[in-house]
Chains A and B, each alone.
Chain A
């Protein structure tokens, strides 16, 4: 069984510590939601694990199936089985979705083998149908001129095609209306076949009505301050993040 272990992870942006000792273990097939107010380090955690060059890891470790990924380049981490669904995916003008995903799959095969075009397109169309994405999208440039919902579905499509072991989904619900949210959530649920581990980063409980998590963690000031099951998310929604802050203040007083 695959396992992603985040051990006492500390991340800084420039001189500023943002993630301040965070630990979390995600087993294959589990969905962990990380909730928290803005500016608490949720996105930084996801990007740092993916290897973004602007984020310096100053302590702790990230182990994928027992192997540290910290010495790996971003592309190596991805090929090892990590995936980041971006909150704000980049536009890549002139590169079609078909060519982009193809390059990503080819990278996993190496120079020696060529991707079989027929089976590639078969799989791509299957996943597009699954995610209710119009097949015409294959020839559109990645994210260029896409609506918010189209960008998020394009992220899920890539996740479906690349079949990572663990996916960090960064604010996948942000900027989506309820219909778009439902389509994206349906897509993610269809990929919950027990193989994929998911870290779902969100500010709102709303998404968790559609993607029901196995575990919910509350992140505040760079740490996980509370963990529980899906009921924690409901409680959080009802009482607000101020409740967590107040409790923490009381505890440290």
Chain B
């Protein structure tokens, strides 16, 4: 018997009222009944779960007072005039979503289609690939604190990509997804599901951006990655929401026997951005590389929570999160490595490095280990330090102005992470995004 959900004042859920949900359901009423049932169940979960509280251990150091659900709207009228960002490197295919609705993208080539590759908006997937989609949709529990926002995403999502790569198919060029929030106060619910079957290989790149870089916004995104036995998946997410967006992005990664997943999340935008990432190493030989780069400036707060779950022997994971902090920005990193009793010979690393470019910036780190096997190698660590004064003088003594010198040092600091990406074109796009952001 479960307890009754606590009574809540209507204002807690802000604009996410039952009327709002009813009109959402009406808008997607043409979709299969199982999908609508799933949404209703998710909506109930959202309603029953409380907002994070000040004493909630999973939200330690977070500015929970900043989590308000009334500063956005559920307007779903896309601004059709928004141009899809042009491709700056060769892509396998592109999808774009504007305020949760699919825009025309660059279609999959007939050759890839013939090989059984699927890359389509989720609303197409629920109709045409129901079995495949349904069996994987939110199959992994979100359990790092944002369950309420994961439920909200499931209840309201319309925008996002479904990627399926069948056994043995290897694709070198990236699949690209743009999630665009348009207009002041837009609420968006990006959802991504990627399934790579045995020995498949693919790269997925997601861009999250707002048309108005200063407008208010709300984003609750979910991202599920499945790498089947021997599969190789590279995932890159670039979060560049408006500077007044409250953002949640909840990633789950499943890595099966001998599979390899590299995920790199670049965090640039948002006012308060929470990112949760849980890698589950489920088969021997599975390896997960978890990377993040953050430029925190102004009053921005970036809150990152990670879990490396080693559930099988001989699995590896390597987490490297690097934050550059300017102005009065804050970062929070809380990471845990859990090694199950049967996961002998686990090799797990976790490292959070903070480069402080301002005396008023604040980085918080909570690294953790929970090891139940006896033959493992696990290390974790967090460092935080200011730019080295001798290094600065060295750069300045060459004629480089202090601002440009700091920028060079930030890029130098980030390079260790960027260098792990094989695709040079992608690396250079990321460098440009970071550079553009540092100048604004």
- Residues on the B chain within 8 Å of A90, using CB: 388, 390-391, 393-394
| Contact of A141 (CB < 8 Å), options: B391, B396, B400, B412 | B412
Q: Write out the residue numbers on chain B whose beta carbons fall within 8 Å of the beta carbon of A51.
A: 396-397
Q: Of A1-9, A57-65, A73-81, A232-240, which stretch is located at the interface?
A: A73-81
Chain B residues with Cβ below 8 Å from A94 are 411-416
Indicate whether A75 sits within 8 Å of B399 (C-beta atoms), given known contacts A53-B389, A93-B416, A107-B404: yes
- Cβ-defined contact, B400 with A107, below 8 A: yes
Does B168 interact with chain A (Cβ within 8 Å)?
no
Residue among A77, A104, A158 with the highest chain B CB neighbour number at 10 A: A104
Are the CB atoms of A162 and B408 closer together than 8 Å? no
Given the complex of chains A and B, what is the CA–CA distance between A141 and B418 in angstroms?
14
Contacting residue for B394 out of A77, A89, A93, A106, CB 8 A: A89
**Assembled-state Cα–Cα distance A21/B182 (Å):** 66
How does the 8 Å CB contact mask read for A82-106 relative to B, with 1 for contact and 0 for none? 0110100111111100011101101
B371 in contact (CB, < 8 A): no
Task: Provide the residues of chain B in CB contact with A73, threshold 8 Å.
Answer: 396, 402
A104 to B390, CA, bound (A): 17
A75–B408 touching, CB < 8 Å: no
Say yes or no: B397 contacts A84, CB within 8 Å.
yes
Q: Are B399 and A93 in contact (CB under 8 A)?
A: no
Q: B398 near A104 (CB under 8 angstroms)?
A: yes
Q: Which of A137-187 contact B (CB under 8 A)?
A: 141, 158, 162
The smallest beta-carbon distance between A194 and chain B, in angstroms, is 23
Offer 12 A-B interface pairs, CB within 8 angstroms, sorted by A.
A50-B397, A51-B396, A73-B402, A74-B393, A77-B397, A84-B397, A90-B388, A93-B416, A95-B411, A103-B400, A107-B399, A162-B398
Question: How many Å from the CB of A175 to the closest CB on chain B?
Answer: 17
* B residues in contact with A230, CB < 8 Å: none
- Chain B residue with the shortest CB-CB distance to A75: B396
- Closest beta carbon of chain A to B296's beta carbon, Å: 19
Encode B111-148 as 1/0 by CB contact (under 8 A) with A: 00000000000000000000000000000000000000
B398–A78 CB distance below 8 A: yes
Within the complex, which residue of A52, A75, A89 is in contact with B400, where a contact is CB–CB below 8 Å? A75
Q: Mark A103-126, 1 if CB is under 8 A from B, else 0.
A: 110111000000000000000000
A248 to B400 Cα, complex, angstroms: 43
CB distance from B6 to the nearest CB of A (A): 49
* Interface range for A: 20 to 34
A78 touches B404 (CB 8 A): no
Interface class of chain B by DSSP = helix
Chain A residues with CB under 8 A of B402: 73, 75
Taking the nearest CB of chain B, how far is it from the CB of A46, in angstroms? 10
A-B interface pairs (CB < 8 A), number: 82
List the B side residues contacting A89 at CB < 8 Å.
394
Residues of chain B whose beta carbon lies under 8 Å from any beta carbon of chain A: 388-391, 393-402, 404-405, 408-409, 411-416
Q: Do A78 and B399 contact each other (CB < 8 Å), given the known contacts A86-B394, A100-B408?
A: yes
Q: How far is the CB of B314 from chain A (nearest CB, A)?
A: 32
A106 to B388, CA, bound (A): 23
CA distance A91 to B405 in the complex (A): 14
Nearest 5 A-B pairs (CB), nearest first?
A94-B412, A94-B415, A78-B399, A90-B394, A104-B398
A91 to B395, CA, bound (A): 10
How far does the alpha carbon of A26 sit from the alpha carbon of B213 in the complex, in Å? 54
Contact in complex: B391, A92 (CB < 8 Å): yes
What chain B residues lie within 8 Å of A77 (beta carbons)? 397
A75–B401 touching, CB < 8 Å = yes
Which listed residue, B397, B399, B413, touches A108 by the CB 8 Å rule?
A: B399
Say how far B423's CB is from chain A's closest CB, in angstroms. 17
Between B400, B405, B413, B414, the greatest number of chain A beta carbons within 10 A of the residue's beta carbon is seen for B400
- Knowing that A73-B396, A75-B396 touch, tell me 20 more A-B residue pairs with CB under 8 angstroms: A51-B397, A53-B389, A74-B393, A74-B396, A78-B399, A86-B394, A90-B390, A91-B391, A93-B415, A93-B416, A94-B411, A94-B412, A94-B414, A94-B415, A94-B416, A100-B395, A100-B408, A104-B399, A104-B400, A107-B400
Assuming A90-B391, A92-B409, A95-B408, is B397 touching A74 (CB within 8 A)? yes
B400 touches A93 (CB 8 A): no
A107 to B412 CA separation, bound complex (whole angstroms): 18
CB proximity of B408 to chain A, nearest CB, Å: 5
Asked whether A100 lies within 8 Å of B413 as measured between CB atoms, the reply is: no
Residue pair B414, A92 in contact (C-beta under 8 Å):
no
**Interface pair A103/B404, CB less than 8 Å apart:** yes
With the chains together, A3 CA to B390 CA distance in Å? Answer: 28
Centre residue among B388, B394, B402, B413 by max chain A CB count within 10 A: B394
Chain B residues in 8 Å Cβ range of A75:
396-402, 405
Q: Is B408 within 8 A of A103, CB to CB?
A: yes
A79–B397 CA distance with the chains assembled, in angstroms: 9
- Return the chain A residue nearest B398 by Cβ: A104
Chain B positions within 8 Å of A78 at CB level: 396-399
Residues of B within 8 A of A108 (CB): 399
Return B402 CB to nearest CB of chain A, in Å: 7
Residue of B nearest to A73 (CB): B396
Known: A79-B399, A103-B408, A107-B401. A92 touches B394 (CB 8 A): yes
Kindly name the residue among B390, B396, B397, B405 whose own CB sees the greatest number of chain A CB atoms within 10 A: B397
Give CA–CA (A77, B391) in the complex, Å.
17
Task: Give bound CA distance, A107 to B405, whole Å.
Answer: 10
Minimal beta-carbon separation of B283 from chain A (angstroms): 34
Q: Give A226 to B242 CA distance when docked, in angstroms.
A: 66
- Distance to closest chain B CB from A91 (angstroms): 8
Residues on A with C-beta less than 8 A from B388 are 90
Q: How far is the CB of A165 from chain B (nearest CB, A)?
A: 12
Whole-angstrom distance between the alpha carbons of A84 and B395 in the complex? 11
